[in-house]
Amino acid sequence: MSAPDADSTVALGLGKDRILLSKKLAACDYCPRRCGADRTAGETGFCGVGRYAVVSSAYPHFGEERVLVGAGGSGAIFLAGCNLGCSFCQNRDISHGQGEKLGTGKEITEEELAKLMIGLQAQGCSNVNLVTPSHVALQAAGAIRIAVKSGLEIPIVYNTSAYDSVDTLRSLEGLIDIYMPDFKFWSEQASRTFMNAEDYPRTARLAIEEMHRQVGDLVTDQNDIAVRGLLVRHLVMPGMKADAERIMGYLSGLSKDTFINVMSQYRPFGPARRHPDIGRRPEDEEVAAVKRAARDAGLHRFAD
């Protein structure tokens, strides 16, 4: 991997972006962790990532919501590292790896990330789907600007846990077409116990409100493929009905036209398998109860 020379950076109009990125990463504070790591000097933050984004894989993904997939798939770029510490994480080798190092992935520059985006468009993908981008949001922003100058036209999806800083989200305005947060917990206690982030509920609410301010409710084209807007996921957890009901009420208050995916695929992984509360799959009735709660709250737009 080689960093771009100064002349090419100026030509791409990224000078201010580079300055902001270097400033933020020198004492990292652009996700809610604000861990203060000097990611410009070889240190890694809570997320496990340094100066450059780490990509685990990139390919047309046909397992996302139908509204994202289309004929060519969603162009998923799986970004390694994560600013949460979920005990139930299903992608632990990507998010935090084994031991102190990420298990998979390659560091890439913004220019290389932009090439991946252009390549996914060339393969016929409906969008570029940045999976877990919160801790490399500004690197992604630089890559998007480069890719657009190189002919990128398909929508950009910001596929996140919703543990995002509002300030960082504001710096993405105009670059992200579709925000797709997963609002996991309403309870601070559950967030502290299961995600190592007691402030998650308030942080997620503020982040989702900013996302909605930027892009509004989900809009689709003549083929029912998303082109812009907010799509909220909620992963149904065992025993968390009360949290789910509060989340559905909140989303309805944001907009009754909020497009939502109530997801039933939770499986206990890692330490979660031994936890008495979340060490099992949700029952069918628990999933059905969350869907009822969403409808009772006035929500009416659901993923297939």
| Tens digit of each residue's pLDDT (9 = 90 or more) over 9-30 | 333 345 566 666 778 889 999 8
Residue 294 in this model has a pLDDT that exceeds 60 = yes
Of 211-215, 228-232, 262-266, minimum mean pLDDT range: 262-266
Q: What is the structure's pLDDT at 217?
A: 98
Tell me the average pLDDT across 234-238: 95
Q: What is the structure's pLDDT at 165?
A: 95
Q: What is the structure's pLDDT at 185?
A: 96
Tell me the average pLDDT across 124-144: 96
Q: What is the structure's pLDDT at 118?
A: 98
Q: What is the structure's pLDDT at 2?
A: 35
- 276 exposed, middle or buried (CB, 10 Å; 0-12, 13-18, 19+)? exposed
Give per-residue pLDDT as tens, 166-191: 999 999 999 999 999 999 999 999 99
Q: Tell me which of 3.20.20.70, 3.30.1360.100, 3.40.50.300, 3.40.630.10 is the CATH number of domain 52-302.
A: 3.20.20.70
Please give the Cα distance from 217 to 117 (Å, whole number).
Answer: 25
Tell me the average pLDDT across 39-54: 91
Beta bridge partners of residue 54, listed in sequence order? 107
Going by pLDDT thresholds of 50, 70 and 90, the confidence category of residue 65 is very high
Give per-residue pLDDT as tens, 247-275: 999 999 999 999 999 999 988 877 878 88
Q: What is the structure's pLDDT at 181?
A: 98
Q: What is the structure's pLDDT at 14?
A: 52
Which residue has better confidence, 7 or 240? 240
Q: What is the structure's pLDDT at 105?
A: 80
Please give the Cα distance from 10 to 7 (Å, whole number).
Answer: 5
Inter-residue long-range contacts of 278-285, CB under 8 Å, 24+ positions, other chains counted: 278/87, 278/88, 278/194, 278/237, 278/238, 278/239, 280/238, 281/238, 282/236, 282/237, 282/238, 283/238
Q: What is the structure's pLDDT at 88?
A: 84
Q: What is the structure's pLDDT at 93?
A: 67
Residue 246 in this model has a pLDDT that exceeds 90 = yes
Which residue type occupies 27? Answer: A
Give per-residue pLDDT as tens, 70-102: 999 999 999 999 999 888 887 766 776 543 455
Which residue type occupies 238? Answer: P
Please give the Cα distance from 9 to 3 (Å, whole number).
Answer: 10
Percent pLDDT > 70 in the chain is 89
Q: What is the structure's pLDDT at 42?
A: 87
- Mean pLDDT over all residues of the chain? 89
